[in-house]
A = this chain, B = another copy of it.
Amino acid sequence: MDVSVDCVVFGFDNDTLKVLLIEQKQPDTVHLKTQKAVPGDLVLDNESLDEAAKRILQELTSLKGIYLKQFHAFGDPNRVRGLKDQQWLRTFRVNPERRVLTIGYYSLVKLSEFKPKAASFAGKTYWVDVYNIPSLAFDHNEIVHKALLMLRHELMADHIGFELLPEKFTLSQLQKLYEIILDKKLDKRNFRKNILRTETVTALEEKQQGVLHKPAQLFTKK
Contact = CB atoms under 8 A, between A and B. Distances in A.
Contact of A43 (B2, B46, B75): B75
B73 A103 contact: yes
Instruction: With a 10 A CB-CB cut-off, give which of A46, A73, A99, A101 has the most chain B CB atoms.
Output: A73
A75 B50 CA distance: 8
A77 interface: yes
A76 interface: yes
A5 to B, nearest CB: 9
Interface of A: 1-3, 43, 45-49, 70, 72-73, 75-77, 99, 101, 103
Contacts of A75: 3, 43, 48-49, 103
Interface of A is mostly: loop
A40 to B, nearest CB: 14
Given A3-B75, A46-B77, 10 more contacts: A1-B1, A1-B2, A3-B101, A45-B99, A48-B75, A49-B73, A49-B75, A70-B72, A73-B73, A75-B103
A77 B1 contact: no
As for how many copies of this chain the complex holds, the number is 2
A23 to B, nearest CB: 27
6 contacts: A1-B1, A1-B2, A43-B75, A48-B75, A49-B75, A49-B101
Nearest to A3: B1
A75 B70 CA distance: 11
A48 B73 contact: no
A208 to B, nearest CB: 37
A3 B74 CA distance: 12
Instruction: With a 10 A CB-CB cut-off, give which of A2, A75, A77 has the most chain B CB atoms.
Output: A75
A152 to B, nearest CB: 13
B3 A77 contact: no
B49 A1 contact: no
Given A48-B76, A70-B72, A43 B103 contact: no
A43 B73 CA distance: 13
A47 B3 contact: no
A163 B49 CA distance: 32
